[in-house]
Amino acid sequence: MILIVVKFNVKPELADQWPEITREFTEATRAEPKNKWFEWSRSVENPNEYVLVEAFDDDGAEPHVNSDHFKKATSADGPMAQALVSTPKIISRQIEGDDWEEMGEMKIS
């Protein structure tokens, strides 16, 4: 599985609109057959920062970055880029596993 975490630093005046700005891209990515999950979270420490956690089957990331919706979303003149303060920061790794697992250090019954 390929696990990707991306931090987006959004312009303060557009931070509340970020979910709508990314909606089309989010829905198209979630519909990809090799996408496992595509989840946005907003930082509790910096309300202008959104964190994207996404995962793909091992061979699913390349079709994702070559898709029309990815190219449109990441273009310099696209709505996402226009809403950002800086280039997003990314961690992308191939890892073992297929899905989320329970945390071994904490058990809730």
- Residues 77/40, Cβ–Cβ less than 8 Å: no
2-94 has which CATH code? 3.30.70.100
Every domain of the chain and the residues it spans: 2-94
Q: Compute the chain's Rg from CA coordinates.
A: 15
Supply the pTM of this predicted model: 0.92
Going residue by residue through the chain (109 aa), what tens digit of pLDDT does each one get? 999 999 999 999 999 999 999 999 999 999 999 999 999 999 999 999 999 999 999 988 888 999 999 999 999 999 999 999 999 999 999 999 999 999 999 999 8
Nearest to 80 by CA among 36, 41, 37, 50: 50
